[in-house]
Structure 1
Amino acid sequence: MATSPTRPEDEPGDLATRLMDQAMGHYFSAALRTAARLRIADRLAAGPRTPEQLAAATDTHAPHLRRVLRYLAASGIFREDASGAYQLTPIAHQLRTDVPHSLHPAVMMITDELFLRTSAGLTEAVRHGDAAFERLFGAPFFAHLQSDPAKRELFDNGMASLASPADDAVAAAYPFPATGTVVDVGGGRGGLLRAVLRHHPDLTGVLFDLAPPLAHHLLDTDDLKGRWRTQEGDFFASVPQGGDVYVLKHVLHDWPDDACRRILRTCRAAMADGSRLVVVDCVLPPGNAPHFGKTLDVTVLAIFDGRERNADEFAALLSAGGFRLTRVLPTAAFPSIVEAVAE
């Protein structure tokens, strides 16, 4: 939650309350996780229900549940009516598990101990200039996921959910060619590639990633039959050759600059001169205005030792990898599109 600038009418007591409310924000995450784990939004889909009814359905303590729901309703998650029953709000609809672009898996991922324990180690990350996650869990994030299939699935589900609202926005905002091949490098389960192929019916695609996300890819649909293939591999070693457009969505922000340069050089080695690279990440604006990228920036700092970047930082990074930044395009969602040409 972003803090608004100090207003002339702010009294010291008001400022103290606002600061303390933000300091206690981890309780909001805990309350949101509680509602997500209990599938409260699913249970309200048919209409308002009282805390007693919800408690009976979830085998929980009604007075405690009422207090958690009241806390969430104060921030627009659910709404209490005059009878004391709770109902869905537009934002709470996104917590349902049975709706398109559900954010339930993303909430479960972000409020998991992987993220919560890591956020508690942020001070040490700032002190030492590294990722808090490895200090706490004994291994880098992605290495840890390789040893824990359940957490790997949680992460893959969460990332697919978090990315889902942006997939159509990116596919609609960027002028992909009418024909040719799009290579989605580190594309996870392929939500973006699916959206691109649906927007451009004469394109073909390659979904490139590690085995765990590929095992649950989203491309095997009747409308895309014969237009895609998957390929397993490590983007630090090599990527598929022969593509016309290469996409890196939410890849570079996971890594520090030296690792990003390695990824970019691997992509460049597979690309012909003049081929396009499309980077989908937040592009940080200047100044103090709120921006979701600033939240993500601190998140990836603690977990991966990654970072969000501004346009100048992207230009320098791309140049070191053999590319020239040509333009930055906004989308209707939180990430932007950074286009570059292989030189």
Structure 2
Amino acid sequence: MPPRIEELAEHINTNTQKVSQYLESHSLPQPSFDEDGPVDLQINSQEVDNARREAINNCYELLDLLQGPKALVRPVANATSAQAIHRYDIPAKVPLGREISFKDLAEKCGLHEPDLRRIIRFAITYHRLFQEKRDGFVSHSATSRWLAENPVAMDGVGLIHDTFYRSFAWTVDALQQFDDQEPNQTGFCLAHNTDEGLFSYLASRPEDAKRFGGAMKSFTADIPGNSPSFLINGYPWESLGPATVVDVGGSQAQIAIMLAEAFPKLNLIVMDLPDVLRHAQVPEHLSNRIQLHGHDFFEKQSTVADVYFFRWIFHDWPDKYMIKILRQLVPVLRPGARIIVNDSICPGPNTVPYDVERTIRGVDMVMLSLHNSREREKGEWEPLFKAADPRFGALKFYHPQGASLSIIESIWQA
């Protein structure tokens, strides 16, 4: 049997060839860091995408083996460069299709040239952001061009490398200081010197809230596994017939609009805080089937419906708050009413591909740092439903292939 590193190299070569041949046969551009390189490989074959992901996982393992154990505990985890790139909006200040000197770019940004130079060169080395093809001159890479042209992607960069990063630095202090697992006893709260939880904090800071909303749109649109298409196609919505669906915490109605477009028999009610809903825009042709209702999901529900839907809600809240949210539904639930949840399920160790587990573990730490919440394992969901009320029926799980989020269903048994 060949050594593991040779075996990995062979797998990488085989799977990379599959990807390359697919791109060539479909007249698609090959991956490139250049400014005109593709942002999305546009692979529509499950077999080829599996090969791509297997190559990525093999690359992770080969890199770690070749670097050795000592390197694994001292990676350069430094968000300073990305923070600066977001705060100074540097991608927008680099001209598309041309280069700019460090001197001129520093003047545009209001930074000292030596500081800008080190920020950019770190970003080139660690993030493939920008290029320096000629000494002292900056031009776009595929990634920086994408950021320059995509404001919500820049919001995502700001949230990750500013809000998240600062919160990470204080999370262990929060664990030592607090013991109640409250949403306002987190690394985020210590980092921002506030006794408000993240959502309360954002409610009084419109610019921060706008960036957060943009980042959430980016995480939905730009991370394939988060696509709402998995929700639309992964659950038998058609079987519900002419049902009323309440989208609890439905933000600006994006998911409700998609459901209404796909399933003409559904009527939808989007519930969220009034300040959130005022930004919602429902297309005219759907206005008779989508209603907007101001509602705090910690208050008693008053609307009788066939389905109460929660997407990306429960992972933001510690267990006792999830239980409280579910209990607010009980007064209006009728036999057969469904609770449908679209959320992550944390896998057991070594049960999913490495890249999938790596992503979910990362989000799990974000939940700890921001909310004192977590990505729950499959066996943790039903006890929380039963703790809210034993009449919540046994959970049914749907796991659409390629999706980051699972679909969980409970039917009310009165």
| TM-score, with structure 1 as normaliser | 0.81
Contact 2:337–2:411 (8 Å) recurs in 1: yes
Out of 252, 266, 269, the position equivalent to 2:314 is 252
CA distance in 2, matches of 1:323, 1:331: 25
CA distance in 1, matches of 2:322, 2:300: 14
SS in 1 for 2:336: coil
Contact 2:272–2:295 (8 Å) recurs in 1: yes
Amino acid in structure 1 at the alignment position of 2:121:
R
Kindly state the Cα deviation for residue 283 of structure 1 after the two structures are TM-superposed.
Answer: 0.8
SS in 1 for 2:340: strand
Amino acid in structure 2 at the alignment position of 1:124:
D
Amino acid in structure 2 at the alignment position of 1:119:
F
CA distance in 2, matches of 1:51, 1:239: 59
Amino acid in structure 1 at the alignment position of 2:396:
T
Amino acid in structure 1 at the alignment position of 2:174:
A
Alignment of 1:1-343 (within 5 A): 10=66, 14-21=68-75, 24-25=76-77, 27=78, 29-43=79-93, 46-52=96-102, 54-55=105-106, 57-80=108-131, 82-83=133-134, 85-89=138-142, 91-92=143-144, 94-96=146-148, 98=150, 102-112=152-162, 114-127=163-176, 128-129=178-179, 130=181, 131-132=185-186, 133-134=188-189, 136-165=193-222, 166-169=226-229, 170-177=231-238, 179-217=242-280, 219-288=281-350, 289=354, 290-321=357-388, 322-330=392-400, 332-343=402-413
Amino acid in structure 2 at the alignment position of 1:87:
H
CA distance in 2, matches of 1:104, 1:9: 34
- Residues 262-321 of structure 1, C-alpha deviation per residue, up to 9 Å, x if partnerless? 111223433322222221221111115433221122222222211110111112222333
Structure 1's 70 and 185: CA in aligned 2 closer, same or farther, altered over 3 A? same
The answer to which structure has the higher helix fraction is 2
Contact 1:51–1:62 (8 Å) recurs in 2: no
SS in 2 for 1:330: coil
Kindly state the Cα deviation for residue 5 of structure 1 after the two structures are TM-superposed.
Answer: 6.1
SS in 1 for 2:324: helix
Superposition RMSD in Å: 3.2
Contact 1:327–1:340 (8 Å) recurs in 2: no
- Matched pairs, number: 331
SS in 1 for 2:173: helix
Kindly state the Cα deviation for residue 48 of structure 1 after the two structures are TM-superposed.
Answer: 4.5
Amino acid in structure 1 at the alignment position of 2:345:
V
* Higher Rg: 2
CA distance in 1, matches of 2:208, 2:130: 32
CA distance in 1, matches of 2:283, 2:145: 26
- Residues 136-192 of structure 1, C-alpha deviation per residue, up to 9 Å, x if partnerless? 422333333344444334433433443445353333433323542221101122222
Structure 1's 42 and 272: CA in aligned 2 closer, same or farther, altered over 3 A? farther
- Residues 71-129 of structure 1, C-alpha deviation per residue, up to 9 Å, x if partnerless? 2233443352644543232x545534547xx42222223333x5444322211233344
Contact 1:31–1:72 (8 Å) recurs in 2: yes
CA distance in 2, matches of 1:200, 1:54: 50
Kindly state the Cα deviation for residue 230 of structure 1 after the two structures are TM-superposed.
Answer: 0.9
CA distance in 2, matches of 1:8, 1:216: 46
Structure 2 alignment gaps of length 5 or more: 1-56
CA distance in 2, matches of 1:278, 1:264: 11
CA distance in 2, matches of 1:264, 1:45: 51
CA distance in 1, matches of 2:301, 2:157: 31
Contact 2:130–2:144 (8 Å) recurs in 1: no
- Residues 242-263 of structure 1, C-alpha deviation per residue, up to 9 Å, x if partnerless? 3332211111111111111111
Contact 2:95–2:139 (8 Å) recurs in 1: no
Contact 1:160–1:191 (8 Å) recurs in 2: no
CA distance in 2, matches of 1:325, 1:93: 44
Amino acid in structure 1 at the alignment position of 2:147:
L
Amino acid in structure 2 at the alignment position of 1:231:
H
